[in-house]
Amino acid sequence: MKDIRSYSLPELTDEFKNELDLPAFRAKQVYKWLSDGVSDFDEMTNISKELRNNLSNTYYISVATIEKKLVSVYDKTVKYLFSFRDGETVESVVMNYRHGYTICVSTQVGCKMGCTFCATGQGGFSRNLAPSEMLAQIHSAQRDLGIRISNIVLMGMGEPLDNYANVLKFLRLVSSEDNLNIGMRHISLSTCGLVDRIYDLEKEKLQLTLSVSLHAPNDEIRSRTMPVNKRYPIDELLKACRHYVRATNRRISFEYAMISGVNDSDECARELGQRLKGMLCHVNLIPVNPVKGTGYRKSAVERQQSFIRILGKYGITATVRRTLGADINASCGQLRRKASEEK
């Protein structure tokens, strides 16, 4: 069976013509239904029953089925546990900001990178998601909530640049006019720092925002919390970031989860300031979300303020990320883990 939601309109048009002898307008009709988020060929009411049957013998429509849904009582943030055809599950979160709805999409089932503070990283890796399965998360959320999503962050489960080809295909599909038409300027991609792939991404010249999960000012601390740092040390990573900024003229965001007593001293802030000085960038400070079994605790507010002040001296702007969905474990990986513990 072929995964019809992973096609672009030109690809589907070609295949319909060459293999099914169908005219271009049929491909367009079917594609319109797919981008409206249908989950079954029978919903395509302007297509004959016979053709719907034929299509469903050759193709399947990727769907993200809602297994669990949690709604924050504080801020209406919604967290989903979705399942796919093979029963694998991932999490997505929908946040309502003033400028519209933002969805946090997963790109893999699990993750290979093993960051010590991350619930997903602690659970191991199962498989990559197809482009269609990333799109399906958006469709399911939109249909369930009766909304249009305007912004996407690839900050759910998984390392997007470790599933490079599928993520690139997803980005092209989701931003295309025939599809969900969410512009690259409304998309952020977060990576733990796969340096070779950052150079590849740079060549694509996309208008998206690159977020880099730094979380430490030096190799000693970073290697302790992020094993990927042993493969790609900080100097190499920041060299790639500087190169990326020059080539794309886009500002990079650095994510910095503040962990009490681990990476939040004034000395850490000064070292970070030294390293980032002169780069077109912004630092997002995130009070670490305590994950069971890690023993990590959030830094005090006083530490956050001190970081902002010290980074400012080096000309680096930093802000503390607003916490949404605090009551529903909105940081990814935690709901899936809870669900598997309950089984």
Q: How far apart (Å, rounded) are the C-alpha atoms in residues 206 and 213?
A: 19
**Which 8-state DSSP code applies to residue 298?**
B
Least spacing, CB of residue 123 vs ligand SF4, in Å: 9
- By CB under 6 A, name the binding residues for ligand SAH: 117-118, 155, 159, 190-192, 213, 255, 257, 286, 288-289, 291, 331
- How many residues contact ligand SF4, by CB under 6 A? 11
- What residues between 157 and 186 interact with ligand SF4 by CB under 6 A? 158-159
Q: Interface residues for ligand SF4 in 117-136 (CB under 6 A)?
A: 118, 120-121
Q: Closer to ligand SF4 by CB, 192 or 221: give it.
A: 192
Name the pairing type of β-strands 317-320 and 281-287. Answer: parallel
- Catalytic residue flag (residue 332): yes
Task: Give the chain's radius of gyration (CA, Å).
Answer: 21
Q: Which is nearer to ligand SAH, 176 or 294 (CB)?
A: 294
Which residues, 56 to 75, sit near ligand SF4 by CB under 6 A?
none
The active-site residue, picked from 281, 332, 341, 342, is 332
Nearer to ligand SF4, 161 or 281 (CB): 161
**What distances in angstroms separate CA 211 from CA 28, 44, 154, 161, 283, one per listed residue?**
35, 39, 9, 12, 9
Q: Where are the alpha helices (DSSP H) in the chain?
A: 9-20, 24-35, 49-58, 119-122, 131-145, 164-175, 195-204, 219-225, 228-231, 234-248, 266-276, 301-313, 334-342
Using the minimum distance from each CB to ligand SF4, give the nearer residue, 179 or 329: 329
Task: Give, as ranges, the residues between 195 and 234 that touch ligand SF4 (CB under 6 A).
Answer: 213
Marked catalytic residue, from 67, 91, 115, 281: 91
CB of 128 to ligand SF4, least distance (A): 13
Closest residue to ligand SF4: CB criterion: 121
Selected range binding ligand SF4 among 37-45, 112-120, 145-153, 270-278, rule: CB under 6 A? 112-120
Output 158 or 217, the one with its CB closest to ligand SF4: 158
Q: Does 106 help bind ligand SF4 (rule: CB under 6 A)?
A: no
Pairing of strands 78-83, 65-71: antiparallel
Q: How far apart are CA 269 and CA 264, in angstroms?
A: 7
- The nearest distance, CB 189 to ligand SAH, in angstroms, is 8
Is 255 known to be catalytic? no
User: What tokens appear for 202 in the block?
Assistant: 């740079």
Residue linked to tokens 């999503």: 149
**Taking the complex as a whole, how short is the minimal distance between the CB of residue 114 and ligand SAH, in angstroms?**
11
Report what 155 binds from ligand SF4, ligand SAH, none; CB cut-off 5-8 Å by kind.
Answer: ligand SAH
**Toward ligand SAH, which CB reaches closer, 38 or 268?**
268
Q: What tokens appear for 185 in the block? A: 């300027």
Q: DSSP string covering 121-162, please?
A: HHT-EEEEPPHHHHHHHHHHHHHHHT--EEEEEE-SSS-GGG
241 counts as binding ligand SF4 under rule CB under 6 A: no
Cα angle for residues 322, 323, 327 (degrees, 5° grid): 160
Residues in the chain: 343
Q: Which of 22, 115, 195, 206 binds ligand SF4 (CB under 6 A)?
A: 115
| Cβ contact 183:207 at 8 Å | yes
Residues serving a catalytic function are 91, 332
Q: What does the binding site for ligand SF4 look like in residue numbers (CB under 6 A)?
A: 111, 113-115, 118, 120-121, 158-159, 192, 213
